[in-house]
Amino acid sequence: MTRDALIIVDLQQDFCPGGALAVPHGDAIIPVVQEWVNRFADNRHLIVTTQDAHPPDHISFLERGGPWPPHCIVNTPGYLLHPALRLPPGHARFLKGQDRDREAYSGFDGVSADESALSLADYLRSQSIDRLYIVGLATDYCVRATTLDALAAGFETVVIKNGVRGVDVSPGDSERALAEMAAKGAQLL
Ligand code: VGL
Ligand code: ZN
């Protein structure tokens, strides 16, 4: 039997319309993500969220020469998951990007928000997970990095196409990212 986990990447207020680094129509994926959450919860499959969790002076911010306006600063509203998303109690939370001097796009750079401080890969292995379903933001950054790391770590990885959205700083970035993920072995659903 294959053990599945749903990985919800960075579905945070700052990446949704009105947020500091909004993905265009980022919130449009929420009904799709919610359907998958409900399906996984009904089947008692694992649900994992990742969050960008930056200090106020993170290296990726413009004032430090990085590419992005300040976003997802811990303990600000923009850091929180989108309030429309309804998650079952007991889902696993992973945080990344806390180190002020290091960029971290991949959920696999994350550590558990609980006292275990496990890495995402160690946690998934501890739960005997072998297949990941990926949804969230942004296709061309954190979804891409998380998916490529998942494949490199040996997980069967399915990207739910209508459950992800991209920034597209250059037009076509998201499509290219999806093609790259597929070329490296991800299934696009
Ligand atoms: C992300 C840009 C900066 C993401 C995070 O979650 O895709 N993008 N930090
Ligand atoms: Zn960030």
Peptide bond into 183 cis (omega under 30): no
Amino acid at 66: G
Closest to 136 in 3D by CA, of 110, 116, 103? 110
Residue whose CA lies nearest to ligand 1 atom number 8: 141
What CATH code is carried by the domain that includes residue 11? Answer: 3.40.50.850
Ligand nearest to the CA of 140: 1
Residue 119's domain comprises 4-188
Structure tokens that stand for 67 in this block: 């590419």
Q: Which residues pair with 93 in a beta bridge?
A: 49
Ligand 1: residues with CB < 6 A are: 10, 15, 52, 60, 68, 105, 137-138, 141-142
Using the predicted structure, report yes or no on whether residue 1 has a pLDDT greater than 90. no
| Segment 63-71 mean pLDDT | 97
Q: How far apart are CA 98 and CA 119, in angstroms?
A: 14
pLDDT digits (tens, 9 = 90+) for 126-168: 999 999 999 999 999 999 999 999 999 999 999 999 999 999 9
State the total domains in the chain: 1
Q: pTM for this one?
A: 0.98
Structure tokens at 85: 């998303």
Q: Which residues pair with 156 in a beta bridge?
A: 131
Residue 109 pLDDT greater than 90, yes or no: yes
Q: Which ligand is nearest to the CA of 100?
A: 2
